[in-house]
Structure 1
Amino acid sequence: MKILITGGAGFIGSHLAQLCLERGDEVYIIDDLSTGSMDNIRFLMEDDRYRNRLFVTIDTILNHEVMLELTGTCDWVFHLAAAVGVRLILEKPLESIRINIQGTEKVLELCNKFKKKVLIASTSEVYGKHLHAPLVETDNIIYGPSSKFRWSYAASKLMDEFTALAYYRTHDLKVIITRLFNTVGPRQTGAYGMVIPRFVTQALRNEPITVYGDGSQTRTFTYVKDVVSALVGLMEAENAAGEVFNVGGIEEIAIAELARRIVAMTGSTSVITLIPYEKAFGKDFEDMLRRVPSIEKIHRLIGYEPKTDLDEILRQVIQSIREKA
């Protein structure tokens, strides 16, 4: 199988590329390195087993000619390229909206031209400000006002979903949508607000662990290898096209408790410090107080269930960051 991964030098994309190469696939990566890094894939590029099956293009997915050739070459397309992370969205709102909406439009246009099966990586952010759990794929969407630019990311990814489903209904394009819930693991950076690598880095340096808000907001976390296995499983499935699937974990934890657990697991002397949202992100930010997925739909189709619990996720991230220090 020939596989194109947009954003393939990113955190999730690099793990997906590794899995596909281990399966024996031929892998094509395109990444502009705006949030991805060559460090994430260099070990794959230097591995003799993959030398003739891994091809990397450093460019934007908005480059029509490059994407035309790559899409025409491959059998499957995993579209992971996007502006990610709350901090990046707030700092570069126009660029983030543009790459998320126009980039996905370009991918879908070319996949439709060549009739290539495509998976669109969306996000749990699209659910908005729900307080109930678990979140089901058919739940309503609740956003804050447009003056709060924190919601621009969620709205742009929701527009990606609408566009993908329109291609499915209008052109019978085989497209699958996945809503990812807080994917974590080695190679993830805290630079764009990702909470676990940020907490772990602070703990290992014995610095104050900065918890935004009062720390009562809850999340579930999913190990990246469980996520990429699910993405491949959905592409292999017969009846996934035209559907939306949550991909997430099941262990809900408050962010303040997450910080305490990381302090204990690292043996850190860090103290936990609460930072008001407005001080951390400015006036454009609102938070989701709870984000827990229902995974019944994906479990019914491909038997997905997360294999890696939170403590093991934290051990893997701690070990990875320690090795880089």
Structure 2
Amino acid sequence: MGKKKKNRKETAGLPVIGMDMGGTKILAGVISAESKILGTAKRSTKPEVGSEKVVDRMIKTAREVVEEVGLELGEVAALCTGAPGPLDPDQGIVWNAPNLGWDNVPLGKLLSEGLGIPAFIANDVDLGALGEHALGAGMGTQDMVGVFVGTGIGGGLILSGALRQGWRKAAAEVGHMTILAEGPVCGCGSRGCLEALASRTAIERDIWAGVKAGRESIVPQLMESDDRERLTSGVIADAYRQGDALVIEVIGRAQFYLGVGIAAVVNLVDPEMIVVGGGVVEALGESYLAPVRTVAYQYFMNKRGAKDVKIVPARLGDNAGLLGAAVYARQKLAKQ
């Protein structure tokens, strides 16, 4: 016989496992009923090994963090993981994740069977926005949009205090709004998406294009001195602070397009707050966000009280996804 399913009252005070799984790393945390992170564990994703082995790595990471905090899986209410989409959170299926090489993977079912506890999945950026709304920069707001600038640009939509995923569970694809119709090709195949203009990948592309064209830049020197193979957000931030003209120009262009994109979101949704996160934003802080804010306010349709719409930095960093996953898991358990 299978294990008896815990009822809502039995799970209410138990911790949950929050997880964030992307193309680079798997990060898991045990989160208490009071939303405190009791411990974390991390390992590389290694998507090249295939979906089955990646799921095994996720299960091992979950077991590891539970053991680390001195618990057993039977003392955990559920797991929720963020994953790249498109996906179906209701069915627990990742339909397509190009950076993982996944197609039609029943991730929720596999995790639940492997751990013996309920397992939920949701879009990783949705969970980041949910975390910031519940426990970070967006606390107390009813209408908030999270915009996260990293390898790509993702968004998460909170309306009337609740996460809104849309009819096809694909709402708030902020990074794939067309900003410049004849602009650079995006990874999705379209041209001129916000992601192709303002993501860290776009910034990196334009910096290297400038270097190859003969522009002076300290970026190669910084990478050599730090023994880095990749142009990271930290290197970009260092070059920016040291007055690298090429980097300042490229970032200025990305800031402009991000401001235009945020204005488009505000004109459509009219939220109280836009929370902006991601590696470049975290590395440069207000010096990155201030010009974005200035551009956005210029492009708001409703100029009256424009600055009442707060455009603020995210507070939770990598923990946003973990905490959002915990919130999501508890919401799903409460509905069962």
Quick check: TM above 0.5? no
Structure with the greater alpha carbon radius of gyration: 2
Name the TM-score, length of structure 2 as normaliser: 0.31
Name the TM-score, length of structure 1 as normaliser: 0.32
